[in-house]
Amino acid sequence: MSQTVVLGVIGSDAHVVGITILEQAFSAAGFDVVNLGVQTSQEEFAEAAVAHDAGAVLVSSLYGHARQDCQGFHDVLESAEIDAVTYIGGNLAVGQDDFERTRETFRELGFDRVFDSETDPEEAIAALRRDLQIRPTETERVTVSS
Amino acid sequence: MIRDERLRSDELRRIDREIRADWSTGAAVEFEEAIAFHDSLPASKRFADVLESADVPLLQPRAGVPRLDDQIDLLESLRTDGGADLLPTTIDSYTRDNEYEKAAEGLEAARETGEDTLNGFPAVNHGVSGCRELIESIDAPIEVRHGTPDARLLAAITFAGGFQSFEGGPISYNIPYTKRHGLAETIENWQFVDRLAGAYTERGVRINREPFGPLTGTLVPPSIAIAIMLIEGLLAATQGVRSITLGYGQVGNVVQDVAALNALQKLGEEYLPDEVVVTTVFHEWMGGFPPDEARASGVIGLGGMTAAIARPDKVITKSPQEFQGVPTREANAAGLRTTRQVIDMAIEQEIDIDGIDEERALIERESRCLMDAVFDRGDGDIVRGTIRAFDDGALDVPFAPSDSAKGAVLPARDDDGRVRIFEWADLEMDGEIKEIHGARLSRRADTEGRDQSFRMVADDVDAISEGKLIGRPEPRGDV
């Protein structure tokens, strides 16, 4: 499966630091990263996923409007015939939410995995390797076990 | 190309008519009647006067919820339980993006479900009468805080609605907040906002304007923030604004933070015209917070300590729930009280710390370098100079999402935790200053036994939330 990862912050959100670090981390881990940046619409995610034959679409949201921004997102992906793995991560609800409830909400919206804002990039990378059935390279295994 | 010139009255009226047609609530704005409303407000609600006459730092939280009644309750509880001196109304992100229809949907959902489905108060949707009900209900000055690149309609409605302070500016609400808007476009938008504030000012309603100092909130080197504050202050002054509050966000190194606030005040007085009253605001840490309320309160306490030493006119407080988005009102009030406790204990002490004067001199030199670069590029016109300086990267902001900035400059902490510049890109700075930063960063690299790299920057971004100031690597053997 394609190792291209499409990355972006959805909706009207302009929090850029997290995806900047994710871009660096996923690139360093050997993925081809297409970073769409902040304030990315559902359609822009879909267009980029098609254009780059993405294996994964990673959505970031830090400002609390994720639920409204992601309504119908998976319909948009489906109608563009995109079968990429989809993740979402960040502060996904306004206020002090119960994360398990939030996770359930976004699973129901169609995301394969849902991460909170405390997740290390390494955790998402490991999950994506499992989901895309990619083995760590020889050198990386050496680093991990040292 | 646009210039740093005062917007003509006929242009002000033309744009005002145009933008008020953007959304139904715009029709209720009427300037003469709005002046009369402001004149009817008691002295305790006049933002500029209250701020400028204070002799200790005033405290102000951030707060905004979608429904009007809830916003009134929230502000009242922050005033009484939190002891806030100045209050905010934080605007939701759809309004910031001029998506009034989406804000209307969010507000409708909030009314139906009882949940806060928006991350702030959609002031355009509430309109002039909604804003006035809020102003009349709360016995304290209230500021509009947002992040809107095109805030013209928001300003027209909230000024008419009785607000007397308005955060933001053409650079500080563009570069960190959007990727879509060009700098020439946001400068033009904010010339209108500032001219409108100037028009109220001429009628005796001094609208306070506050450029947003923390910018991207992530390890912004002090001189970059200060240069942008001076530019936005100058632009606002041209349009007739006479009360300007320049901002700076805590980086967490006490010496550097005190030095930066001192430099901001001094350069503000120096660069801005005499007829402007310049005040300063210190923002408690704007980066990632620890996921633990007790530790987060420690970060807030350090901010209070810094404020007690540097004595800015205002402090924007954080809450111990910052790590997880919008806080409960109780947590928000707790952040205010933590800050108050530390400031009140520390402010009467004489605290002398070595190194502040030296650091301040360095920050001033850097700031002047950046300002010279802007003035040179504009042949004296600060609008043209700003556009050109951002275009060629002579002026830049780390982690900028905007297409209008290169976003190529990268910061890292030195061995003492002060924010230095690790990657200069095209930032215009004299060679001697670059050498000073380079030497400081290489000392850190030596201490840590690793090369300077992006890894160091990323470690610094996470450090405070992980309980430290400097993102040191894990000691060997721990892995």
In three state form, how does the secondary structure of chain B look?
CCCCCCCCHHHHHHHHHHHHCCCHHHHHCCHHHHHHHHHCCCHHHCHHHHHHCCCCCEEECCCCCCCHHHHHHHHHHHHHCCCCCCEEEECCHHHHCCCHHHHHHHHHHHHHHCCCCCCCCCHHHHHHHHHHHHHHHCCCCEEEECCCCCCHHHHHHHHHCCCCEEECCCCCCCCCCCCCCCHHHHHHHHHHHHHHHHHHHHCCCCCEEECCCCCCCCCCCHHHHHHHHHHHHHHHHHCCCCEEEEEEECCCCHHHHHHHHHHHHHHHHHHCCCCCEEEEEEECCCCCCCCCHHHHHHHHHHHHHHHHHHCCCEEECCCCCHHHCCCCHHHHHHHHHHHHHHHHHHCCCCCCCCCHHHHHHHHHHHHHHHHHHHHHHCCCCHHHHHHHHHHHCCCCCCCCCCCCCCCCCEEEECCCCCEEEEECCCCCCCHHHHHHHHHHHHHHHHHHCCCCCHHHHHHHHHHCCCCCCCCCCCCCCCC
Type of residue at B417? G
Comparing CB atoms, the residue among B102, B109, B325 nearest residue A95 is B325
B423: number of Cβ within 10 Å: 15
B176 annotated as a binding-site residue: yes
CATH 3.20.20.240-classified regions of chain B: 9-346
Q: Least CA distance to B476: which residue of chain A? A: A146
Give the pLDDT confidence score for residue A138 in this predicted structure: 43
Mutation for testing the A interface, residue in B117, B150, B329, B459 having most A CBs under 10 Å: B117
Q: Is the pLDDT of residue A100 over 70?
A: yes
Give the model confidence (pLDDT) of B250-285 as tens digits.
999 999 999 999 999 999 999 999 999 999 999 999
Q: Is the pLDDT of residue A61 over 60?
A: yes
Q: Which residues contact B380 (CB under 8 A, 6 or more apart)?
A: none
Q: Which of A15, A52, A65, A74 is catalytic?
A: A15
What would the mean pLDDT of A30-54 be, rounded to a whole number? 96
Distance from the Cα of B133 to chain A's closest Cα (Å) equals: 25
- Cβ B461–A21 below 8 Å, yes or no? yes
Distance from the Cα of B100 to chain A's closest Cα (Å) equals: 12
Residue B29 sits at φ, ψ, to 5 deg, of -80, 125
B173 annotated as a binding-site residue: yes
Specify the fold of B9-346: TIM Barrel (3.20.20)
- Cβ B179–A63 below 8 Å, yes or no? no
Give the model confidence (pLDDT) of B148-200 as tens digits.
999 999 999 999 999 999 999 999 999 998 888 999 999 999 999 999 999 99
Instruction: Name the one residue in this structure whose structure tokens are 């670069």.
Output: B373
CATH 3.90.970.10-classified regions of chain B: 356-463
Size of interface A-B (CB pairs under 8 A): 87
Cα atoms found within 13 Å of the Cα of residue B369, Cβ hemisphere only: 19
On whether the CB atoms of residues B297 and B312 are closer than 8 A, the answer is no
CA distance linking residue B395 with residue B290, whole number of Å: 31
- Restricting to B residues 130-189, those with a Cβ less than 8 Å away from any Cβ of A are 147, 176-180
Residues of B that are catalytic: 96, 167
The arrangement of strands across the sheet holding A113-116 comes to A32-35, A4-9, A56-61, A85-90, A113-116
What would the mean pLDDT of B198-225 be, rounded to a whole number? 97
What would the mean pLDDT of B443-471 be, rounded to a whole number? 93
Give the pLDDT confidence score for residue A136 in this predicted structure: 59
User: In this complex, is the C-beta atom of A132 within 8 Å of any C-beta atom belonging to chain B?
Assistant: no
Give the pLDDT confidence score for residue A112 in this predicted structure: 97
User: In this complex, is the C-beta atom of A13 within 8 Å of any C-beta atom belonging to chain B?
Assistant: yes
Mutation for testing the A interface, residue in B148, B173, B177 having most A CBs under 10 Å: B177
Local structure of A16: helix, strand or coil: coil
CA distance linking residue A124 with residue B279, whole number of Å: 45
Confidence bin at A146 (pLDDT 50/70/90): very low
Distance from the Cα of B9 to chain A's closest Cα (Å) equals: 33
CA distance linking residue B461 with residue B469, whole number of Å: 9
Q: Which token pair is B333?
A: 């009030």
- Cβ A39–B180 below 8 Å, yes or no? yes
Give the pLDDT confidence score for residue B476 in this predicted structure: 56
On whether the CB atoms of residues B248 and B260 are closer than 8 A, the answer is yes
Confidence bin at B474 (pLDDT 50/70/90): confident
Q: Least CA distance to A97: which residue of chain B? A: B324
Q: Is the pLDDT of residue A93 over 90?
A: no
User: In this complex, is the C-beta atom of B256 within 8 Å of any C-beta atom belonging to chain A?
Assistant: no
Specify the fold of B356-463: Glutamate mutase, C-terminal domain (3.90.970)
Q: Which token pair is B407?
A: 């976003």
Question: What residues of chain A lie within 8 A of the CB of B94, using their CB?
Answer: 12, 65
- Cβ B458–A21 below 8 Å, yes or no? yes
Q: Is the pLDDT of residue A86 over 90?
A: yes
Local structure of A121: helix, strand or coil: helix
Confidence bin at A2 (pLDDT 50/70/90): confident
CA distance linking residue B438 with residue B423, whole number of Å: 10
What would the mean pLDDT of B140-154 be, rounded to a whole number? 97
Comparing CB atoms, the residue among A13, A24, A65 nearest residue B454 is A24
Q: Least CA distance to A65: which residue of chain B? A: B118
Distance from the Cα of B126 to chain A's closest Cα (Å) equals: 19
Distance from the Cα of A84 to chain B's closest Cα (Å) equals: 26
B145 annotated as a binding-site residue: yes
Q: Is the pLDDT of residue B53 over 90?
A: yes
Type of residue at B96? R
B322 annotated as a binding-site residue: yes
B189 annotated as a binding-site residue: no
* % residues pLDDT > 90 (chain B): 93
User: In this complex, is the C-beta atom of A131 within 8 Å of any C-beta atom belonging to chain B?
Assistant: no
Task: Please give the CATH architecture assigned to the domain spanning A4-145.
Answer: 3-Layer(aba) Sandwich (3.40)
- Restricting to B residues 111-130, those with a Cβ less than 8 Å away from any Cβ of A are 115-119
Question: What residues of chain A lie within 8 A of the CB of B458, using their CB?
Answer: 21, 24-25
Comparing CB atoms, the residue among B94, B325, B479 nearest residue A91 is B325
Q: Is the pLDDT of residue A141 over 60?
A: no
Type of residue at B454? F
Give the pLDDT confidence score for residue B261 in this predicted structure: 98
Q: Is the pLDDT of residue A143 over 50?
A: no
Q: Which residues contact A76 (CB under 8 A, 6 or more apart)?
A: A42, A43, A45, A46
Confidence bin at A134 (pLDDT 50/70/90): confident
Length of chain B: 479
- Cβ B401–A11 below 8 Å, yes or no? no
Give the pLDDT confidence score for residue A137 in this predicted structure: 55
Mean per-residue pLDDT over chain B, rounded: 96
On whether the CB atoms of residues B148 and A12 are closer than 8 A, the answer is no
B64 annotated as a binding-site residue: yes
What would the mean pLDDT of B7-31 be, rounded to a whole number? 97
What would the mean pLDDT of B60-88 be, rounded to a whole number? 98
More confident residue, B259 or A94: B259
Instruction: Name the one residue in this structure whose structure tokens are 């992006």.
Output: B454
Comparing CB atoms, the residue among B119, B180, B216 nearest residue A65 is B119
Give the pLDDT confidence score for residue B102 in this predicted structure: 96
